Amino acid sequence: MSSLANQFPACPKCRAPLGPELFNRGQLIPCPNCTTEIRVEVFPAMYRTVEKARPNEAVMIPGESACFYHDSKRAVVVCDSCGRFLCALCDFEFNNRHVCPQCLESSQKKGAMGELEVSRKTYAHLAFVYSLIPLFLTGLCAIYLAARYWKAPGSLVRRRRWEMPAALVLGILQTLAFIFLILLIFYH
C-alpha cells in the first residue's frame, strides 16, 4: 500500500490519509482524524507519471555516431551548446535545450543559465553594511568591495542599485574621517 499511499496527500499534522472531499476547498476544514484545521490544495501534477529515462543503447553498426563521452554508446542527440554528440545518459534536457554535463556545469559556474543559479553573493549589500560600521578598516573594505564588484550582479529579487554607490561614498567618507581623526590626534 505504500506506493498507493504516496499518491494521496496526508494530513500535515497527523499524517492520516485524506479523502478527496477535503481537497481544494479554498478554506480551512478540520482533519477527520486529529481535528486540526487544515487546507490542502492538490494539483494535476500529483497524478502525473514521472517520465522514465531512455535506455542507453550500444552502438550496433560500425561507423554509427557514438557519444562523445562514451565510445560504445549510440548518440541520440547533439548538445545545443557545444555541438557534441551525446548518448541518452549524457543528455540533459533543460528548458527545451539539450546540453552535455560539461556545458551544464560551466553554465552553472558562469551563471549563464539563470534557472540553475542556487546562490548569489550580494556584494553591494555587504559593502553597504561595511560602510555603516565605523571601524576604519570596514570603510576600506567597503571601498574595496564597491570597486572590485561594481559590475557584479546584485540581488536577484531586490533591486537596490543605490547600495553600491552609497557604499563607495560612505566608505570614502568613513576612511577620510578616520584619517582626519588620526591626524588630529597626532598633530594637535
Partner 1 sequence: MAETPKTYERLPGTGQGLGRRVQLWLADDHLLQVAWDAQSERYKRFRFEDIRVLSIHRTIEGKVVNGVVGFLIFAIGVLATAVATSGGTSGALTFFGLLGGPLVIVLAVNILLGPWCKCRLGTAVQTEELVSLRRLRRAQKVFDRLRPRIVAAQGELSAEEIYSQLQQARTVSGATASATDQNAPPLIDAPFAAPVKPPPRHYTSKIHFIFFCVLVADLPLTIGDIFLHGTLWSTVGILFLLVSIALGISALLKQRNTDLPIVLRRIPWISLITDVVFIAASIVYGVTELIKNPDAPSTEGSFLDDPVTLVMTVISTGLSTILGAMGFIHLRRFKAADAAANVPPPVESQTS
Give residues in contact with partner 1 (CB under 8 A).
1, 3-4, 7-9, 11-14, 16-21, 23-24, 26, 28, 31-33, 36-48, 50, 115, 117-122, 124-126, 129, 150-157, 159, 161, 164
Complex with partner 1: residue 17 or 101, whichever CB lies closer: 17
CB of 118 to partner 1, least distance (A): 6
Complex with partner 1: residue 54 or 120, whichever CB lies closer: 120
CB of 67 to partner 1, least distance (A): 26
Complex with partner 1: residue 26 or 62, whichever CB lies closer: 26
CB of 135 to partner 1, least distance (A): 16
For 74, phi and psi rounded to 5 degrees? -75, 135
Q: From residue 93, how far is each of 41, 55, 88, 100, 121 by CA, in Å?
A: 29, 15, 10, 9, 28
Burial of 140 (0-12, 13-18, 19+ CB in 10 A): middle
Complex with partner 1: residue 54 or 158, whichever CB lies closer: 158
The type of residue at 75 is: A
CB of 37 to partner 1, least distance (A): 4
Contact partners, residue 72, CB within 8 Å, separation at least 6: 58, 59, 66
Complex with partner 1: residue 38 or 67, whichever CB lies closer: 38
Q: From residue 180, how far is each of 128, 143, 173 by CA, in Å?
A: 22, 17, 10
CB of 120 to partner 1, least distance (A): 5
> What is the largest distance, in Å, between two alpha-carbon atoms of the chain?
90
Contact partners, residue 124, CB within 8 Å, separation at least 6: 146, 149, 152, 154, 155, 160, 163, 164, 167
